[in-house]
Structure 1
Amino acid sequence: MRFRHAVAATLGALTLVLTMPTSAGAAVGAFSYQYDDMSRERITVELIDPPSGPCITLPEVADDFVPPAHTPRNATDGPATVYSGAGCTGRQFTLRAHTGHGSERLEVRSVIFH
């Protein structure tokens, strides 16, 4: 009798775990980058809880005729791969979770969160 209760409790717990809502594929935390606007003022932008998986082209620097963003900082709970081109093309560099960062020389136009 106890074995059946243990099996039922285990199956019930497993069902509960499998049906619990998840974070909908978001990297929890903030990702920031900087860019220089047309008047050469340095602007810092933060992406809060960005979606994991899809390529995100940074809108301020999407076009090739503007200088790319730089100085990315990854404070999300997962790694982020930054790309030198829009649409996650060009040179790439992966930033660690929580502490990953790049210098002012690292050109960024798009990013994917893993």
Structure 2
Amino acid sequence: MRLHQSLTAAAGALLLTLALPTSAHAAAGDFLYTASTGQTASLADPQSGICLNLPEATEENPANSPQNFTDATVFLETDCNGDTYTVMNPGKKLDTHTQLRSVIFS
């Protein structure tokens, strides 16, 4: 009976440990893109799970040509909204036809 209680307690502790939220971590790598000014901009080791609106991207002039060296999903709309998005695996580079205003890293 004691073995059964010990195993149950250990399993419960393990489940609690797995269920506790973990702190956000940074995605290792760089994310490059061409800003609406034509200059190359970058995000180094961005925080995972947080949507970032690109400050250089405007409604009239979105950013373009993303180059991803981490895991990212880029969105045409701000706040990582909308139906137009592209999942980018590490090492993927897209051309000037890919426009973006926000990005989220995983």
Q: TM-score range by the shorter chain?
A: 0.7 to 0.9
User: How far does the alpha carbon of each residue in 1:3-59 deviate from its partner, in whole angstroms, 9 at most, with x for none?
Assistant: xxxxxxxxxxxxxxxxxxxx951011100000232xxxx200010000000100001
Q: Which residue of 2 aligns with 1:59?
A: 55
- TM-score of the two chains, using structure 1 as the length reference: 0.68
Q: Distance in 2 between matches of 1:75 and 1:107?
A: 18
Percent of residue pairs identical: 39
Q: Which residue of 2 aligns with 1:100?
A: 92
> Which stretches of structure 1, 4 residues or longer, exceed 4 Å deviation after superposition?
none
Q: Distance in 2 between matches of 1:47 and 1:80?
A: 11
Specify which structure has the higher proportion of strand. Answer: 1
User: How far does the alpha carbon of each residue in 1:47-93 deviate from its partner, in whole angstroms, 9 at most, with x for none?
Assistant: 000000010000111x31x31000000112xx200000010012110
Q: Is the 8 A contact 2:53 2:102 kept in 1?
A: yes
- TM-score of the two chains, using structure 2 as the length reference: 0.73
Q: Unaligned stretches of 5+ in structure 1? A: 1-22
Q: Unaligned stretches of 5+ in structure 2? A: 1-22
